[in-house]
Structure 1
Amino acid sequence: MDSSITDQLRNLLMSFSLPYTISDSTNITEINITTVCSLNETQYQCKCEGLFVWPNDTCHSYEACDDITDASCTCINALPVDGQFCQILPSKYVIDIDVRFFDLFLVDYLRNLIKNISLPLTLSNSINITDIDMNTVCGLNGTEYECKCEENHVWPNDTCRAYQVCDGIVGGTCGCIQALPSDGPLCQRDINECEDAVSVCGQYSDCINIIGSHMCSCWSGFNTSNKDSPVSRDNSCHDINECLFSPSVCGSDSNCTNQLGSYNCSCLDGFTATISSLPISINNTCRDVNECLETPEVCGPNSRCTNSIGGYNCSCLSGFTVTNIREPVSASNPCNVTLPLTEYLIEIQINSMDSSITDQLRNLLMSFSLPYTISDSTNITEINITTVCSLNETQYQCKCEGLFVWPNDTCHSYEACDDITDGSCTCINALPVDGQFCQILPSKYVIDIDVRFFDLFLVDYLRNLIRNISLPLTLSNSINITDIDMNTVCGLNGTEYECKCEENHVWPNDTCRAYQVCDGIVGGTCGCIQALPSDGPLCQRDINECEDAVSVCGQYSDCINIIGSHMCSCWSGFNTSNKDSPVNRNNSCHVTLPLTEYLIEIQINSMDSSITDQLRNLLMSFSLPYTISDSTNITEINITTVCSLNETQYQCKCEGLFVWPNDTCHSYEACDDITDGSCTCINALPVDGQFCQILPSKYVIDIDVRLFDLFLVDYLRNLIRNISLPLTLRNSINITDIDMNTVCGLNGTEYECKCEENHVWPNDTCRAYQVCDGIVGGTCGCIQALPSEGPLCQR
């Protein structure tokens, strides 16, 4: 059990100098350790040394503990009972023989001779020929020297590329080249990959071997996960569950049962095939069985049968009732003649100023065990106190009991004395003159349904199904579905798990802060997070604050709803008292008198430049705005133009941000550079009395807009194209150019930033990031990232 003994023995035997003479007639010519058996943790194993191996049968009989290669292994989990040890690994030789003939008849003779040799062919006790392969024949084809491959042989890929081929290239290989390669292999026997079709193509597929390659195809009723890639072991065939699209394969009113490679259709209860002799399919759909026509006895005598989709309903004729009132009408529970059952609603009004009387009555009525039998034909099934009226100090009020409420019209007509919620209240300041009391409050339930699909097609199908449901949807006399809301869809976006809100829905503010968002946060809300919250609400329907615009923004304003918020703006000719705060109900719009602006130009003629400096200092010392009267303010003071002699030249120079316009620069000869069509110095004072003008400021504003719907990108693109420029925001601000330059998003699983029409990425950006289109003139139109710095696409 001591492995060191084996190592000592190995070293001892390896130290022998061979051949080792024992006597004149006995030499040891070879010493080998063939087999070593030991415990490998808890498993007994016998491993082969050196070039020795276990034969194929032994590997299978005693379970190999390493790979079986060329029908042999080097480790088994037992010592064979026949006492055999590991055997020497037989040597294999491949011998190429070049035979040259001038007569093609001899080539055919050799080919037939080789085909008829019975293999293996024994040359000696230790040498067998196990395979003879004629692979390549070279010769003249007319005037062209060609080397052609024998049947089921091909030239390797590298050889086909290195020499001129004389037939087609299939699977990267060819069958004929116009030369005999100076080195490298001759034609190689084509590998039949289809010998083990399952290991090549996977289950439920057919494999067709072709020279140099193979082709896989799925059986009927099977398909691959990735239909854009060929069938292979890694993209194997699986059963198509046609029943996921049941209406499209079986038709309506049917059940679809998936089977391996197929499916089975059957009609729902109460339906049958249109053509009974044919199986159910999209061309032979299920029709409703009208039991009332085909089996009129289903309801029994004295009854009425009403057909319904997928079933029928039985009811007794007037003056009849069923034997067992707890069971539905049927042939086994027929209708019998009865006296009519009358239902009464009895309202009892008690006038008392003593509230203890009301408490006593409430306790008395609650003690009744219902239904309360008065006679064989009379039961009290329900007792409710609905309305209690009393003086609340000096105010007469009528309050509702339990789940009862005053309806909306009554709340407004008689002035509610508590909040009106969901169009009802529980207290009014009068008893209605029409004698109506509080009414039962309908219960409202919100039911969250978590539906899990792997196919986004089903999500769209569910979305369309919900949109087309006509509401309210009546489930029973007392239950109506008034609203169905699909709010949140979660799934993989590439490799990221995301939960996105449906249109007009947002995540609550707390959720956006708690989880990583995958879009912009607007108004404290977001539309996408990278998790499904463990608790808390899902996406919520965006509140349209603008439904009652006046209560939100105040009078004389417009309200624009945006996801998670809203925006108020005053009408033209109206303004707020506090211009630094947004428009709202507390900072509402009111009509304003037009503001008159005056521009006063003062011209001072003086040859003394110190006067100009004194004037400049004086004007700069003013604190603006400077009030002259209640209606007059000086809001701005500027020295625009200073004219003086510059040695022998009379010049008029502009102060601060003022400039001479282009025409003036050319008419009076500029004395500095003309930049952007303006200058700051001319050699005269214009005869029209105009002075230097303010230099208009130019701003470039980048706006990052994030949308989930590419339809909105197209909508924004068309909106921008149709804006008439220049667009005046106010007297001193004009938008002269709007440019949509870059759109980023997922293209399949790749994130790409593409340039809009007539725009390109700069040269440096194309080199820094991976491009997803061609580089032309050093620029490109698409990269696979949004640059962390630097410009976006340029016109």
Structure 2
Amino acid sequence: MAPVTMILRVIIVLYVTLSLKIQNLSHAQTVSEEMLGENTWHMTLPPYLDETGNTLKQDRQANWKSFKYLISIKINASRQMVQDNLRTLLKGFSFPYKVSQNVIITNVNLNTTQPLKLFKYTTDLKINASRGAVIEQLRDLIREQKFPLCIKKSVKISGVNITTVCLSNSNKTQCKCENQYVWSSEQCSKHGVCSPNQNDTCGCIPSLPVDGTFCRPPPAPLKPFKYTINIKTNASREAVIERLKALIHGQKFPVCIKTGMKISGVNITTVCHSNSNKTECKCENQYIWSSEQCSKHGICGPNQNDTCRCITSLPTDGAFCRPPPAPMKAFKYNINIKTNASGEAVIKRLKALIHGQKFPVCIKTSIKISSANITTVCHSNLYKTQCKCENQYVWSSEQCTKHGVCGPSHNDTCRCITSLPTDGKFCRAPSAPLKSFKYTINIKTNSSRDAVIERLRALIHGQKFPMCIKKGMKISSANITTVCHSNPNKTQCKCENQYLWSSEQCFKHGVCGPNQNDTCRCIASLPTDGKFCRPPPAPLKPFKYTINIKINASREAVIERLRALIHGQKFPMCIKTGMKISGVNITTVCLSNSYKTQCKCEHQYVWPFEQCSQYGNCSPSHNDTCRCIDSVPNVGPFCQRTPGPLKSFKYTIDIKINASREAVIERLRALIRGTKIPHVHQKRHKNLWCEHHYSVSLKSKQNPV
């Protein structure tokens, strides 16, 4: 609320005794002084005369002169409550009100005046200067001046900025805007631009405007408005609809109509087909009819969530299909219900009902009970009261402390208290474990003797970790990482066991010991950036890649030369830090002429079964592989390494056979005796040969085999 000024007008009558005595005075004559630009005469009774003029005090008969004052008191208040309180306070007085024997307040009035209206003016000053140094001096003066700057009472300068600087010589004139100011689009069009323009404004024009216009702050960005326009189109053929769909589908959006106006998207929402038999209005993809339209016009297709995609008549109120409403936000409430029962059987019955109920239970549309649990059971008799928590629920630490515990406690919680809480609290689910944070703290210690370091090592070595500082905080370990020794001749900072200096520190400060993997354990000066020795970095995980390279050559000598280069190269070969070539092999050589093409594998490589079958082999095959095919494969792998032998598995299978006659057992013995062991089954699947070796042990009730 804006501050309001209140004028409190108080009229005070003051009686003063005169030295001149007047005899036979029936009324005291009071002369008012010139107050508020007015001269008035008043007749009033002095305090020693009654209404008939009789003297009230015989011992003091004197002529009294009265003075009347109008006192204005100005009070500033920013809240209406202050004004209301002041009015209430004044209503509690009855006037005239006697302040003292000779001072009376005859009346008090409260008037409210609004604060003066503020006016803000922007004044443009044009300054002519023959040197650029004057402009720089002016910039410095404005930059150093503190604003607002008070000129006189109620007039102040809130800010000063240089907006426009025009430089002119015999060749050209340029009027440039200072920072945060621009020329209007009218000035840019009228005078031309000498700098890039943006949003129809520019920062430089090649002449000085004669109408007194200067650079101005850029206009505020226009507020965008979004409109959805429904267009109804009548067509006698479906081909028109298909053509319209194709046009919309092929159009790129947004489409700019004019400056500040564009079409962000166009969609067909509703298509109505009508003939002499029926009318159907169907929604296009991602649009639906509202529940009101479905109920009013009837549906001609499946409905979902009180909406539908087809109605049997054309709405006359201009309604069309619309996007489906956004899903409603779900809210979850936990409701505690207190139940009083005189028998434990009621509790057991309630547990059985909850246990047998399937959840969630739908109460009405969009409201359902997700689960129900008994949290607290209180038993009370003449001797004691116990409130126990059911499974997975506990009493909070406050309740355990307040009411007393009647069972074991855990993590400041308990499952039984000795009285019923009167604040409506019940057992609750145990709180989730707190997330743990791990911090590494470096502590720098200055010492003048080595014995202090040795003592510190002994203390750390003798301390058992983890060491608890307070609840929820513990020190997991402590280690000395860095020890620096310094004298007038040299400084050495050495790392303790399992710590080392980073490669940056080794390079920056110099090494005073052996280094390894760009790290070191000793540097020749103390780092000033607070760095200390650190644990060695974890080794990088190696990744192995096999890269196939295809080379075209017109002569076999190139192939031989390549073989010689590979054979003479030592592997592994390091390319850069962390990357090396472990080996290079020629796998496939294809020779082609006008008569035939042959792709042969080098040593220890073969063509897989698929390639041999598809392109034909030109060499003997072995285990469904070959070493030569009759054409160059368009797709697929090159020659591959010879697959390793399959791993064999041995199973012992016990088979139990029930027989009522011994002849069956004898017959089985004869069958087994006539079978050659081991018996090999071979199953070929593509290029995979699987051999299954069975060792069968048969048992019977009479004679185990």
Tell which has more relative contact order, 1 or 2 (C-alpha 8 A, sep 6+): 2
Largest Rg, 1 or 2:
2
TM norm structure 2: 0.20
